Amino acid sequence: KAIKSKEEAWTNFREIHSSKMGGHSGIVKTRKSLCSKFYWHGMTADIEKWLSECDHCQRVGPPLKVVETLDCIKVSGVWELVGMDLTGPLPQTPSGYKYILTATDYFSKWVEAFPLKTKSADEVSQNLCTIFYRHGCPLRILTDQGREFVNQINSKLCELLSVERSVTAAYHPQTNGLDEKTNDNIKRALRKVVNERQDDWDLYLDATLFSLRSKMHTTTKFSPFYLMYGREARFPCELPVEMPYLNFGL
């Protein structure tokens, strides 16, 4: 879609980058997402300028560069191998959440995440069931050696569903490097939108997931959304003008 004015371009940039759904992605992902949807004269320079002026991004700073080279785990299809991990404790929210359970598909890089009040086996198992009900059972899941993942409940769950489970080597969480990176991306994105106490992160978790799913992944060069659904995710700014637009604070 050709954009005719800087005002419209700025509005689209704010939605793709600065909104809750945008997630304050970096320059490469923001530019790729905008260029796949819109065009206006001088857009590359505008995107770089506006992103450099984004207060939320400047406060958090650039992402840390990973210098360690990790071996690639080869997969051939969606939901063949899913890495799972827990991150936290985080500042406790008014709803009582302190942890995040993450699951990342190694093929599409699709991310699922759930806020948890505890790291108990029951709570982890309930959310594992939610993932399986939503996407079907993966062929294999990769977790660390934490008790929440190797306890009898989760072992029995995988046995009943015929899901193979692999465990990372002790003191070497990099084996599950993709999900470790997912944790870093989620926490980094949340830091850009939470309040000063950082205790409302659970309100932004779903929007952060949409941002991660809808932006190009640097490894696959496709968005996880595209690899899962065969199409790109639509943002509200892409809806036809004649359609009613309801502002839900996205």
Burial category of 32 from C-beta neighbours within 10 Å (exposed 0-12, middle 13-18, buried 19 and up): middle
Residue 26 has a pLDDT of: 85
Output the furthest CA–CA distance in the chain (Å, rounded). 60
Report CA-CA distances (Å) from 174 to 13, 78, 110, 171: 35, 22, 19, 9
Residue-wise pLDDT tens digits, 122-179:
898 889 889 989 999 899 888 876 677 767 667 777 777 778 777 655 444 444 567 6
Answer yes or no: are the C-beta atoms of 85 and 143 closer than 8 Å.
yes
Residue 81 has a pLDDT of: 92
C-alpha to C-alpha distance for 4 and 103, rounded to whole angstroms:
41
Residue 172 has a pLDDT of: 46
Position 210 confidence tier, pLDDT thresholds 50, 70, 90:
very high
Alpha helix positions (H), the chain:
6-13, 27-35, 43-52, 55-60, 121-135, 147-150, 152-161, 177-191, 205-214, 224-229
CATH domain 81-236 topology: Nucleotidyltransferase; domain 5 (3.30.420)
Residues 6+ apart with CB under 8 A from 99: 86, 87, 88, 89, 90, 115, 116, 117, 118, 119
Dihedral sign for Cα 134, 135, 138, 144, please: negative
Residue 173 has a pLDDT of: 47
Residue 28 has a pLDDT of: 87
Q: What is the mean pLDDT of the chain?
A: 83
Residue 3 or residue 93, greater confidence = 93
Residue 23 or residue 210, greater confidence = 210
C-alpha to C-alpha distance for 238 and 36, rounded to whole angstroms:
11
Residue 224 has a pLDDT of: 96
- What is the domain partition of the chain in residue ranges? 6-60, 81-236
Nearest to 142 by CA among 109, 164, 116: 164
Residue 207 has a pLDDT of: 93
Nearest to 146 by CA among 123, 173, 164, 127: 173
- The residue assigned the tokens 């978790």 is 205
Residue-wise pLDDT tens digits, 57-109:
887 766 555 444 455 678 899 999 998 888 989 999 999 999 999 999 999 99
Position 5 pLDDT exceeds 60: yes
Residue-wise pLDDT tens digits, 215-247:
999 889 999 999 999 999 988 888 766 545 555
Residue 88 or residue 115, greater confidence = 115
Residue 98 has a pLDDT of: 96
Rg over CA atoms, the chain: 19
Residue 95 has a pLDDT of: 96
Residue 177 has a pLDDT of: 62
Contacts 24+ apart (CB under 8 A), 149-152: 149/84, 149/86, 149/124, 151/121, 152/121
Residue 92 has a pLDDT of: 97
